[in-house]
Amino acid sequence: MADGAEDGELTVALPGPDGTPLHRKLSSELRAQILGRALAPGAQVPTEAELQERYGVSRSVVRQALAALEQEGLVERRRGRGTTVRERGELHRLVQRVPGLSTQVEDGGVHVSTQVLELGPEPASEATGALGSGRVLRMRRLRSAGGEPLAVIETWLPEEFGDLTAEELTDASLHATIRRRFGTRIVAGKRQVRAVGADTETAELLQVPVGTPALLLEGTSTDEAARPVEVFRTWHRADRVVFDINVVREPDATGPGDAFTGLRAQATPTPDAGGTAGLRARLNALAREMLDLSQQLERADHR
């Protein structure tokens, strides 16, 4: 807290390093409130006078900050109605589902476009060990909806997929393309979710300020023989994409904590499992992934 400018009232100290212009500090504070839903879609933003008093800044600082947020599409300013948080359609993704962002969003009736930014071989990287391939194919793509960027995807594939072209991956699902071209069906995998700040390059592609919170989904995907065929990292715009999680309870659970205890006790699926046993193994693997994800999100909520 800091002393008020004229009336002796206490004002809220704006975050940010010394030397940062006040209007940028104020826009960062309001942006965080909007993205964190302290100011929900449709909510009225405090008036210019209220912001002046609360943060101990001048009217020109307030107006510059609000103008920046309006330019980003986070708020709407209308004469006679003040400033409100812009209503933005949220796109939902079930993170435990194998189909990717484009498939899930398009299943909901929203068209997603895909631009291939980079595509080429890579001789050595962290992905080569995970994929068991001496060389890998690396690609970067940009997903957009309604002309607005949603996600930046970085993917590595085994060298057997090396003749994939940018043309066939433009506005297309990678998983569907791999299945059509090579007969490889991705059926499982492991996922992790992290909250990160967008770096300069990612922020430019997503059209957000540097440091804006992004949802990073990363992991590996496997085929029906449990062979790893994909390593990926996807940065999602946190103001447009929402991660959904379906929570399930084991049928034999008897207490509040027994469902998760049962999930931990499941056996690891074997690559050659088939029939009913194979299905049960894949379901158990999916349950463990959901547990890991829910625990990560719970830890994030308490930070």
**For residue range 236-261, what is the model confidence (pLDDT) as tens digits?**
888 777 766 666 676 665 555 544 44
Task: Please determine, looking at this structure, whether the domain spanning 91-244 carries the CATH number 3.40.1410.10.
Answer: yes
- The Cα 107–Cα 5 span in angstroms is 54
The domain locations on the chain are 2-85, 91-244, 245-303
Which range has the worst mean pLDDT, 10-19, 78-87, 201-210? 10-19
Neighbours of 202 (CB within 10 A): 20
Handedness of CA 192, 193, 197, 201 (dihedral sign): positive
Q: pTM surpassing 0.75? A: no
Q: Please answer whether residues 73 and 86 qualify as being in contact, where contact means their C-beta atoms are separated by less than 8 angstroms.
A: yes
Fold of 2-85: Arc Repressor Mutant, subunit A (1.10.10)
Q: pLDDT of 142-201, one tens digit each? A: 988 878 888 899 999 998 898 999 999 999 889 889 999 999 988 888 888 888 889 999
Q: Is 281 or 152 the better-scoring residue by pLDDT?
A: 152
Cα 186 from Cα 198, distance rounded (Å): 29
Q: How far is CA 133 from CA 86, 160, 227, 232, in A?
A: 47, 9, 11, 15
> Which tokens hold the place of 269?
């699926």
Q: Would strands 91-94 and 241-244 be described as parallel, antiparallel, or unpaired?
A: parallel
Containing 291, the helix (H) or strand (E) segment is helix 275-301
Question: Is residue 101 scored above 60 in pLDDT?
Answer: no
- How is residue 114 written in tokens? 């895909």
The mean per-residue pLDDT over the stretch 104-110 comes to 50
